[in-house]
A and B are shown apart, each in its own frame.
Chain A
Amino acid sequence: MLHDEQKMETFSYDDAIVRKFVLATMVWAGVAFLVGLIAALQLADWRFNFNLPWLTFGRLRPLHTNAAIFAFGGNAIFAGMYYSTQRLLKTRMASDAMSRFHFWGWQAIIVSAALTLPFGITIGKEYAELEWPIALAINIVWVVFGVNFFKTIAQRRERHLYVAIWFYIATIITVALLHVVNTIQIPVSLWKSYPIYAGVQDALVQWWYGHNAVAFFLTTPFLGLMYYFLPKAADKPVYSYRLSIIHFWALVFIYIWAGPHHLLYTALPEWAQTLGMIFSIMLWAPSWGGMVNGLLTLRGAWHRVGKEPVLKFFVAGLTFYGMATLEGPLLAIKSVSSLAHYTDWIIAHVHGGTLGWNGFITFGMIYWLVPRLWKTKLYSESLANVHFWTGFTGIIIYMISMWSAGITQGLMWRAVDSTGRLMYPDFIETVLRIAPLYWVRAAGGALYLVSFLIMAYNITKTIASAPKNVKADVFQAPRLAPSSNQNLGDKPHRILEGLPIVFTVLTLLAVAVGTVIEFVPTLWATDYVNTGSSIKPYTGLQLHGRDLYVREGCYLCHSQMIRPILSETLRYGDYSRAEESMYDRPFQWGSKRTGPDLARVGGKYPDLWHFRHMMNPRDVVNGSLMPSYPWIFRDKIDFAVIPKKIAVMKFLGTPYNEQELALAEATARAEAQAVAASLSAQGATGKLEDKEIVALIAYLQRLGQDYKKGGVK
């Protein structure tokens, strides 16, 4: 029996799938960086959208973030995971067909995103914008990937699961949980749906997802890659395997709690905010433990860092990880958040993480992988060094400009004079002060893009120099003996041998605890939301206008959440209450104020002001950076879809009655005529009653009105 189990088996690794993911990483990196540069230029000068709706910032920004996170980052982690998993487990992936389905399915999802987001087809939740058919496809592709991964673990030839595999397990199960829960939607049509959550619940679920997408898509898988590729490149084992165990468990347990730090000083219950802040600060320890473990892996090899580009990228990537994970908890402290939130400081923070940590770890990995996958030498180490220094300089310029812009604007927003009045009451003053820094940011981004193009040239030449028709290497290894303790030493190790199931269950438990506690406000929403207030649901036309607001990505530059901070209440009015957004699907609290908060903008200006503002913002706000929206003056309102929207909202619990549902279209038309008549009376010309601008104005004029009428206590 023992003899049979020890029988040698012959196999090869599926490196074709790794090559595919590496090439896809390169292609989508170019797209993500280019789109990011265009978006950065648009913030410096709005005319870079060329008045094209599909190229406008509000539609382009989700494309940029999706391309950077899921296309560039996603393909990079899949390339590294497929390569390292097979070698660490000494087996081929369980199913080539499932690997190919994963690859082509993921590329199809990315292409679908690229074809829908620029056309305003979006759920309107950051990093989860893709509409329900694509979200469903993500779930399917992810499950296939997970099944293939776990089947591969089941047929492994190495008993022990190296720490990198633990991070991959945490990634696979947690991303599945996050995405499924956050994208539960009720469709209105093929390309339109509403989330089942509303207002404060939606905010909490969204940032539980959003924060942990960073944790479990941009952190844990990259840490797994770091634990595999850094020792490979340094030719030294990880500094402390013990520390990696502590690192793993502390990180997965703590990270999941930290989501509410995105909602500090909002209408979220204060205890949830405090929990988010405390657990964010606790994250310092495991994050820095991981970084130190990575850097100390280079003990005795530091002299090689100056010469070898792969090590250079890894060291810089880890350093950026350290910076980002120092800055993140700092920003999660309420008093710091009150200054930094909604400003460009956050933009500096996330780009330090993405360009520095994710980008540089990926580039180091690709420089290491490509010569081995194509069995050739890197075309030019000098070019790789040029890539490093150009990219590094680009990141530094980017971050310094955005730190400066963020802190400047944050301080200007809160500045009051000796009489207690705002020193900069016009929001545009604070924008114009930092606008030059937007050019500096674009220059930093351009440098990063140029550095990537140098890499693309280097990698292309490397692959072109590879020999043709290289056969896959063939290996021999014995099958893993079931429940054996051979080669493993003492008894307790056998507990560790059951790792696939034990680890998966424990990891799920670790993330589930924080999840359950954070979701308490969702379950006990009535304790925080005054449902007895006279907040009314949106009318059909306002609801349609709200969807246009979401379509154009207005929430990416305007918040709808006035924090209980003196300077904010002086500028915008009384602070926002949870019940004010209780019918908002999705919530529109926002995360950035390139423009002012809009929670109480209703009634602040006449209809004609909004009309002119949307036609050309500079007509009413001198120096405004906001793009013009000429197409909403041309495009017609789809009145026929409004009853369907009302029906879905009613199904989700919004208190529309049967008559409102039956008369939804007629009521919306009548309301549109009233707004159009108001505009005409104020001097606007043209046939306006069926144009989208009318619906958008109806929505904007509704914002904050229930509060002003005394409906909120």
Chain B
Amino acid sequence: MIQRSLSHYPLTGLSVFGTLLFLTVFAAALYWAFRQQNASLYARVEALPLKDLEPMRDGEHSI
């Protein structure tokens, strides 16, 4: 099936480019995600949903 598909495929280069691009982006994302230097950043940003601002009390604001 794959042989038949490829024999009728006019733009092999395009899919090779697409696959390589995907692998490149994927490898870059993998490298970026698992860099040890990013550990401190992740420790901070993964907690973003949990760090809501404290609302001001009455009398502290004027909007």
A11 nearest in chain B by CB position: B63
Closest CB in chain B relative to A478 CB, distance in Å: 11
User: Is there an interface contact between A162 and B49, defined as CB atoms closer than 8 Å?
Assistant: yes
Bound form: Cα–Cα A496–B41 in Å: 11
**10 additional A-B residue pairs with CB within 8 Å, beyond A160-B44, A228-B49:** A88-B49, A250-B29, A275-B15, A474-B56, A488-B41, A489-B37, A513-B18, A516-B14, A520-B14, A524-B10
User: Is there an interface contact between B49 and A232, defined as CB atoms closer than 8 Å?
Assistant: yes
What number of A-B contacts does a CB cutoff of 8 Å give? 119
Closest CB in chain B relative to A266 CB, distance in Å: 14
Q: Which residues of chain B have a CB within 8 Å of any CB of chain A?
A: 1-2, 4-6, 8-11, 14-15, 17-18, 21-22, 25-26, 29-30, 32-35, 37-38, 40-42, 44-50, 52-56, 60-63
User: Is there an interface contact between A474 and B63, defined as CB atoms closer than 8 Å?
Assistant: yes
Q: Which residues of B lie under 8 Å from residue A273 when comparing CB positions?
A: 5
User: Is there an interface contact between A271 and B8, defined as CB atoms closer than 8 Å?
Assistant: yes
Is residue A341 within 8 Å, beta carbon to beta carbon, of the partner chain?
Answer: no
Partner of A162, one of B34, B48, B61: B48
Partner of A475, one of B4, B45, B55: B55
User: Is there an interface contact between B47 and A237, defined as CB atoms closer than 8 Å?
Assistant: yes
User: Is there an interface contact between A270 and B63, defined as CB atoms closer than 8 Å?
Assistant: no
What 5 pairs across the A-B complex have the smallest Cβ distances? A473-B55, A271-B9, A242-B33, A271-B5, A241-B46
Bound form: Cα–Cα A238–B50 in Å: 10
Closest CB in chain A relative to B44 CB, distance in Å: 8
A245-B29, A271-B9, A516-B14 known; A10+B63 contact, CB < 8 A:
yes
Partner of A270, one of B8, B14, B60: B8
Q: Which residues of A lie under 8 Å from residue B29 when comparing CB positions?
A: 245-246, 249-250
User: Is there an interface contact between A517 and B45, defined as CB atoms closer than 8 Å?
Assistant: no
Closest CB in chain B relative to A647 CB, distance in Å: 34
User: Is there an interface contact between B11 and A242, defined as CB atoms closer than 8 Å?
Assistant: no
Q: A482-513 toward B: CB 8 Å interface, digit per residue (1/0)?
A: 00000111101100100000000010001001
Bound form: Cα–Cα A271–B15 in Å: 11
Is residue A309 within 8 Å, beta carbon to beta carbon, of the partner chain?
Answer: no
Is residue A274 within 8 Å, beta carbon to beta carbon, of the partner chain?
Answer: yes
User: Is there an interface contact between B10 and A12, defined as CB atoms closer than 8 Å?
Assistant: no
Q: Which residues of B lie under 8 Å from residue A12 when comparing CB positions?
A: 63
User: Is there an interface contact between B5 and A232, defined as CB atoms closer than 8 Å?
Assistant: no
Q: Which residues of B lie under 8 Å from residue A253 when comparing CB positions?
A: 22, 25-26
Closest CB in chain B relative to A364 CB, distance in Å: 15
Closest CB in chain B relative to A528 CB, distance in Å: 9
Closest CB in chain A relative to B63 CB, distance in Å: 6
Q: A298-322 toward B: CB 8 Å interface, digit per residue (1/0)?
A: 0000000000000000000000000
User: Is there an interface contact between B22 and A245, defined as CB atoms closer than 8 Å?
Assistant: no
Q: Which residues of B lie under 8 Å from residue A489 when comparing CB positions?
A: 37, 40-41
A236 nearest in chain B by CB position: B50
User: Is there an interface contact between B38 and A527, defined as CB atoms closer than 8 Å?
Assistant: no
A493-B38, A513-B18, A514-B18 known; A474+B61 contact, CB < 8 A:
yes
The B contact surface, by secondary structure, is helix
Q: Which residues of A lie under 8 Å from residue B11 when comparing CB positions?
A: 517, 520
User: Is there an interface contact between A527 and B10, defined as CB atoms closer than 8 Å?
Assistant: yes
Bound form: Cα–Cα A21–B48 in Å: 24
Is residue A84 within 8 Å, beta carbon to beta carbon, of the partner chain?
Answer: yes
Interface-centre pick from A228, A242, A489, A517 (highest chain B CB count, 10 A): A242
Bound form: Cα–Cα A236–B46 in Å: 9
Partner of B41, one of A87, A250, A493: A493
Closest CB in chain B relative to A686 CB, distance in Å: 52
User: Is there an interface contact between B25 and A510, defined as CB atoms closer than 8 Å?
Assistant: yes
Bound form: Cα–Cα A184–B16 in Å: 30
Q: Which residues of B lie under 8 Å from residue A380 when comparing CB positions?
A: none
Bound form: Cα–Cα A231–B22 in Å: 30
Q: Which residues of B lie under 8 Å from residue A524 when comparing CB positions?
A: 10
User: Is there an interface contact between A158 and B63, defined as CB atoms closer than 8 Å?
Assistant: no
Q: Which residues of A lie under 8 Å from residue B17 when comparing CB positions?
A: 513
Partner of A160, one of B34, B48, B50: B48
Is residue A254 within 8 Å, beta carbon to beta carbon, of the partner chain?
Answer: yes
Closest CB in chain A relative to B39 CB, distance in Å: 9
Q: Which residues of B lie under 8 Å from residue A84 when comparing CB positions?
A: 49
Q: Which residues of B lie under 8 Å from residue A232 when comparing CB positions?
A: 49-50
Is residue A90 within 8 Å, beta carbon to beta carbon, of the partner chain?
Answer: yes
Bound form: Cα–Cα A612–B27 in Å: 63
Bound form: Cα–Cα A269–B9 in Å: 9
Q: Which residues of A lie under 8 Å from residue B4 when comparing CB positions?
A: 270
Partner of B34, one of A242, A249, A334, A510: A242
Closest CB in chain B relative to A252 CB, distance in Å: 10
User: Is there an interface contact between B50 and A254, defined as CB atoms closer than 8 Å?
Assistant: no
Q: Which residues of B lie under 8 Å from residue A274 when comparing CB positions?
A: 1-2, 5
Q: Which residues of B lie under 8 Å from residue A90 when comparing CB positions?
A: 53
Is residue A476 within 8 Å, beta carbon to beta carbon, of the partner chain?
Answer: yes
Q: Which residues of A lie under 8 Å from residue B10 when comparing CB positions?
A: 520, 524, 527
Q: Which residues of B lie under 8 Å from residue A464 when comparing CB positions?
A: none
Partner of A474, one of B15, B18, B26, B55: B55
User: Is there an interface contact between A242 and B42, defined as CB atoms closer than 8 Å?
Assistant: yes
